[in-house]
Amino acid sequence: MNDFDLVRKNLFRRKLRASLMIISILIAFMIFGVLAGFYRAFTAGEDRAAADRMITVNKINFTQPMPIAYFNRVKAVDGVRQVTFANWFGGYYQDPKNFIMALAIEPNTYFDVYRSEFEVPPDQLQAFIRDRGSAVVGEKLAQKWGWKIGDRVPLNSNIFSQKSGGHTWDLTIAGIVKGKAEHVDTNFLLFQYPYFDETRSFGKDTIGWMILQTTSPENNDRVAKTIDAMFANSTAETSTDTEKAFGKAFAAQFGNIALIVLLVVGAAFVTILMIVGNTMALSIRERTREIGVLKTLGFSGPRILTMVLGESVLLALLGGIPGLAIAALIAMALRNSLANVAPAFAVSPTIALQGLALMIALGLITGIIPALNAMRLKIATALGRG
């Protein structure tokens, strides 16, 4: 036997009470894990945004189009290394519930701007550029639907229609796009803007947004100001910002995720803190006499303090670790169905570490008052002698 055994046996002396406390903590950390996973998913792009990449959108908001003529004008701005553009398609496959993240892109420049994230074999990229009716598909999406090069994919839009009246664009898969790192999401389909623009029934010669790469992040401010000044007082004024700021603004469309996480986790934590703290205090009060006996035997005050704190931290870990594990399982189970909305949804090692730190903090906070009381307890008082 050692002090840890003593701590463990004390914790489980009332099994029902200990189990209920563990379940409460488990639920709190499960909520924490899931919400933190969502938060990570919504801010993942923001974290991985390249410093030298900027986004130009319509100043009203990013859903409003801009004239395609802007593309060449931006390309000519001093400090811009490369520019590309994209247009939201609102795609789905076979059934509207099978949402596809589909973009009509400028085929010659898109993969140059995103060369640090994506790679397409040169022959496949050339085939894509050559064939106006082709598409390249992200590896994950191709795996999801079992698509391979040469397949004909009827892609539907819930926004656009063809001049002929139909909503379906038949595309031939010319290449598979791979991410250069594990975290890069490849759940998308990209096809040629010229083909899209030529066939759609409205919005001709407009684009959704431009992605530009500056010659250096130091030029970002100047480039942004130049571009926005260039289109000031036009029918489509622009707003140019870094990719990180754009990502953050995009995430904000879903509400203030951080605030939601903070409020929900905070409320759960405060409630659990009070319940566990009160139960711990009650549990220690019930053992006043035994603590007196331990002190009589020679256990010092600091050692008793450590044991009580150890008990509350152990309790937090026993509830928290399975809670996070369940959150991780939930994230894994939902990952496919949420791939389009929150592709990076997962309980990452960082979240696990944050959770672990929170568990220890929870244990220390709930245990500190009972532990201090136990440490200061007078033996004669504890034993009812004197």
Partner 1 sequence: MTAQHPMVRLAGVAKRFTKGKEMISIFDHLDLAIPRGDFIAVMGPSGSGKTTLLNLLGGIDRADAGEITVADQRIDGLSEGELAAWRAANIGFIFQFYNLMPMLTAAQNVELPLLLTRLRKKERAERVQTALSVVGLADRMKHRPREMSGGQQQRVAIARAIVSDPNLLLCDEPTGDLDRQSADEILSILQLLNGELGKTIVMVTHDPAAANYAKRVLHLDKGRFVERELAA
Q: Is 54 exposed, middle or buried (0-12, 13-18, 19+ CB in 10 A)?
A: buried
Residues that contact partner 1, how many (by CB under 8 A): 26
With contacts defined by CB under 8 A, name the span among 117-125, 255-263, 267-275, 286-294 that binds partner 1. Answer: 286-294
Position 1 contacts partner 1 (CB under 8 A): yes
Residues in contact with 120: Cβ distance below 8 Å, sequence separation at least 6, in sequence order: 111, 128, 136, 175, 176, 177, 178
Q: How far is the CB of 283 from partner 1 (least distance, A)?
A: 12
Position 380 contacts partner 1 (CB under 8 A): yes
Please report the beta strands in the chain, taking only residues with DSSP state E, as ranges in sequence order: 53-58, 66-67, 80-88, 91-93, 99-100, 102-105, 118-119, 134-138, 152-157, 168-179, 189-192, 206-207, 209-214, 238-242
Distance CA 274, CA 279 (A): 8
Restricted to residues 5-34, the positions that interact with partner 1 (CB under 8 A) are 5-6, 9-10, 12-13
Sequence letter at residue 57:
V
Q: How far is the CB of 22 from partner 1 (least distance, A)?
A: 17
Position 300 contacts partner 1 (CB under 8 A): yes
Q: How far is the CB of 347 from partner 1 (least distance, A)?
A: 35
Position 92 contacts partner 1 (CB under 8 A): no
Position 285 contacts partner 1 (CB under 8 A): no
Position 46 contacts partner 1 (CB under 8 A): no
Distance of CA 349 to the CA centre of its chain: 13
Sequence letter at residue 124:
Q
Q: How far is the CB of 295 from partner 1 (least distance, A)?
A: 7
Give the residue with the Cβ less far from partner 1, 223 or 304: 304
Distance CA 118, CA 111 (A): 7
Q: Which residues bind partner 1 (CB under 8 A)?
A: 1-3, 5-6, 9-10, 12-13, 289-290, 293-302, 379-380, 383, 385-386
